[in-house]
Amino acid sequence: MEVPEFSPGLEGVVAAETAVSEVDGANGRLIYSGGYLIEDLAKVASFEETAYLLWNGALPDKQQLETLRRQMAVARRLKDSARDALKCLEADTDPMDVLRTIVSAQGAAKAITKPTLDEAIALTAVVPTIVAAAYRRRQGTEPLEPREDVGHAANLLWMMEGREGSPERVHWLDTYLVLLADHGLNASTFTARVIASTGSDLTSCVVGAIAALKGPAHGGATYAARSMLDKIGTADNAEKWLREQHAQHARFPGFGHRVYRTYDPRAKILREMAREAAPELYKTAEHTEEIALQILHEAHPDRPNATNVDFWASVVLTGVGIPKELFTCLFATSRVAGWTAHVLESLADLRLIRPASVWKGPQPGSKPLPIASR
């Protein structure tokens, strides 16, 4: 048998067929289920409509949307066992570890079941409850009960702060959630599909995806981008700071993407929102972006412009009033719609994902020495 070539990171390898989303890197397009471009969808659809689209392949009508909103609203509460497990965790636990653990506890069941759409809806609905509880415990306050009379984004702000967010903040958050809901076969979505391929349950898939999203090279990048802006402080400090970092071969968080060869369409929308959502930080960010792209272009003139979604998401989330420790959790709040849609899609033609490896170890067959002779 011919030994296939090793492509590190599986770059360029097609690991799934999907109709959930398409990252058209060459043309800078992100297409969601149903064939909608992200910039068109972000203008007309709420997070709930987007989730419905990813799960069902079509946008809901009024009736269908109302049914979904109702179903999500009543699924926001934690089970008693998950609530008890939450109390076991130290208040200062990394919110992603809280999310990973409590999603696992919420989904803990007597017997394994096949993933269903109802489960996908319930899981998506409960994530903000856990995220808000993690936030409030860090603040030293008690978690709040979810509300059933407001939408997904509004309820998250309510559970975090105990008061209603302004319509603008709700809108910025909702748009963020729409933009991040899916993105082809990224590492966390791929993780969810690998786990699903063994016939495992939906909770296991989502817990694995959260675990992958936690990595700084994936979901942790929004936090890193915001931390960079914190260090830069003001626009006039950007050039000096970035040049120093670059001289030390440090990477700029929020720049670079394996797939896009043009400006990330989500970053473009977030950039516009950021101007309004966080005017002060926007000034620093805008100048930082300009200098960063200039430095990167000088260093690699052959590479395309590369501001990614994390950079501008970090500014918008700041404007929404989300502390940076929660950024990765917010990413998960959105992406859980995509993860579950991918898992449900994969069920139609389930096949165990079991790649090969190339042996780089010692020649097989040497006899192990007994311990006395080692």
Partner 1 sequence: MSQYVPGLEGIVAAQTAISLVDGANGRLVYRGYVIADLAEQMSFEEVAHLLWYGRLPTRAELDALTLELAGSRALTPAAMTTLEALPKDTDPMDVLRSVVSVQGIEHRLEKPTIPLAVHATASFPTILASFHRRGQGLPPVKPRADLAHAANYLYMLNGKESSPELVRALNTYLVLLADHGMNASTFTARVIASTDSDLASCLVGAIGALKGPAHGGAPSQVMDQLEQIGAPENAEHWMREARTRKVRFMGFGHRVYRTYDPRARILKAMCERLNPTFYALASKVEETALAILHEEHPERPQATNVEFYSAGVLQAIGLPKEFFPPTFAVSRAAGWTAHVLEQVANNRLIRPQSEYIGPEPRKPVPLAERG
Integer CA distances (angstroms), 298 to 228, 289, 292, in order: 21, 14, 10
Main-chain dihedrals φ then ψ at residue 373, nearest 5 degrees: -100, 5
Catalytic status, residue 257? yes
Residue 253 C-beta: closest distance to partner 1, Å: 12
3-state secondary structure of 312: helix
Q: Which helix (H) or strand (E) holds 24?
A: strand 21-24
Contact 121, 73 (CB under 8 A): no
The smaller minimum CB distance to partner 1, of residues 97 and 239, is found at 97
299 touching partner 1, by CB under 8 A: no
Report how far residue 30's alpha carbon sits from residue 182's, in angstroms, rounded to the nearest whole number: 9
75 touching partner 1, by CB under 8 A: no
353 touching partner 1, by CB under 8 A: yes
Task: Give the one residue of 5, 142, 149, 302 binding partner 1; rule: CB under 8 A.
Answer: 5
Options 230, 257, 264, 342, the catalytic residue: 257
The vertex-59 CA angle with 58 and 63, nearest 5°, equals 120
Q: How many CB atoms lie within 10 A of CB 248?
A: 7
Convert residues 216-255 into a mask of x (bound to partner 1 by CB under 8 A) and - (unbound).
xxxxx-----------------------------------
The smaller minimum CB distance to partner 1, of residues 143 and 319, is found at 143
Residue 215 C-beta: closest distance to partner 1, Å: 2
Q: Which parts of 44-73 interact with partner 1 (CB under 8 A)?
A: 44-45, 49, 57, 59-62, 65
Which of 87, 90, 83, 72 has its CA nearest to residue 106? 83
Query: Most distant CA pair in the chain: distance in Å?
Result: 76
Options 152, 171, 310, 342, the catalytic residue: 310
Q: Which parts of 121-140 interact with partner 1 (CB under 8 A)?
A: none
Report how far residue 311's alpha carbon sits from residue 156's, in angstroms, rounded to the nearest whole number: 22
Report how far residue 94's alpha carbon sits from residue 176's, in angstroms, rounded to the nearest whole number: 22
Q: Which parts of 17-46 interact with partner 1 (CB under 8 A)?
A: 17-22, 24, 29, 31, 33-37, 40-41, 44-45
213 touching partner 1, by CB under 8 A: yes
Q: State in Å, rounded, how far the first CA of the chain is from the last one.
A: 37
Q: Which parts of 323-352 interact with partner 1 (CB under 8 A)?
A: 349-352
Catalytic status, residue 310? yes
Q: Which amino acid is at 21?
A: S
- Using only the alpha carbons of the chain, give its radius of gyration: 22
Residue 185 C-beta: closest distance to partner 1, Å: 4
88 touching partner 1, by CB under 8 A: yes
Q: Which parts of 94-123 interact with partner 1 (CB under 8 A)?
A: 94, 97, 100-101, 104-105, 107-112
List the catalytic residues.
257, 310
